[in-house]
Amino acid sequence: MFAKITLAGSFVFFTVLYLLRGMKRKKLNIKGKVVLITGATSGLGKACAEIFYKAGCRVILAGRNSERLEKVKTELVGLKEGCSDYKPAILQIDLCDLASIPKKVAEAVSFYDRVDILINNAGQSYRGQVLETILDVDQRLMMVNYFGHVAITKALLPVMISEGGGHIIGISSIQGKIAIPYRTAYAASKHAFQAFFDSLRAEVCDKNITVSVLSPSYIHTNISINAVRADGSQHNVLDNSIAKGMKAEYVAQRILDMVLWKEQDVLLGPFHHRIACYLRPIFPNIFFYIMAKRALKERNEFDKEK
């Protein structure tokens, strides 16, 4: 118990220290900066494209579907006030095709001779029970949510270093910090995602490269509709929690703020979701008990679907 109290006290101390340090930071001017956004065809990626375009950035829209990318580009160009002087560029890319990513990143750099800000946003969710989930599903989630972004980041790092710096944003999830039942493949991929960027942050701290991770709770997008099920099929359901989630525009604004203020790690969501992230390391047994109760409740829902 004493160790847990000490840990809690240390957490409070370092939180206050971090906040005081943050007060000394200056707001950046990002007008004209080149921003590469993966998963830009819809949801949070599209919202990020709009908000960075309005901030005067040169936006590169990245995604698999070229037609949908063109549609987003047209919508951005149709915006009037306070927008970039440059039309958005389009990069068709498949995160599962790792061998093609270095060439695709070189293509992205060729648009404006550099990339100042990388937003690793694309991803896929999952719903299913471990015993019924085929291994192909676990591999796909790791490919889309982890390896694809690692490949893009590694390909772009030398460019940022040669240009004297940059900012890498990783869009993770609260499930990158805690794991909940029936999300094993998703939570595992986001835990790996979080760990990679935490390690990277320390390695490039002397190269003027900021590494930030946003861990949001539920966002009102199509992520649950596009989620993969245990057998590899599409979930095709708008979950209640997603329907009640944060607006993508609000989260995109928060991402812009992270860039403007060089914030490194942000939890975003309702108070009880953020508390769960602190409960897990300090009082793990309480957290496990809550998750076990949740699992029993959700199991009934899965059984009904059979």
Facing residues of 229 across strands?
127
Which has the closest alpha carbon to 97: 61, 68, 62?
A: 62
Structure tokens at 29: 């001017």
Residue with tokens 């800000």: 117
User: H or E stretch including 198?
Assistant: helix 184-203
Residues 36, 161: Cα–Cα separation, whole Å: 16
User: Is residue 86 annotated as part of the catalytic site, yes or no?
Assistant: no
- From 53, 182, 186, 218, the catalytic residue: 186
Residues 272, 251: Cα–Cα separation, whole Å: 18
For 98, residues 6+ apart whose C-beta sits below 8 A from its C-beta are: 143, 147, 148, 151
Residues 149, 269: Cα–Cα separation, whole Å: 23
Question: What does the DSSP assignment read for 253-291?
Answer: HHHHHHHHHT--EEEES-HHHHHHHHHHHHSHHHHHHHH
Which has the closest alpha carbon to 166: 157, 175, 174?
A: 157
For residue 71, count CB atoms less than 10 angstroms from its CB and return exposed for 0-12, middle for 13-18, buried for 19 or more: middle
Query: Is residue 66 within 8 Å of residue 42, measured between CB atoms?
Result: no
**Active site residues per annotation:** 186
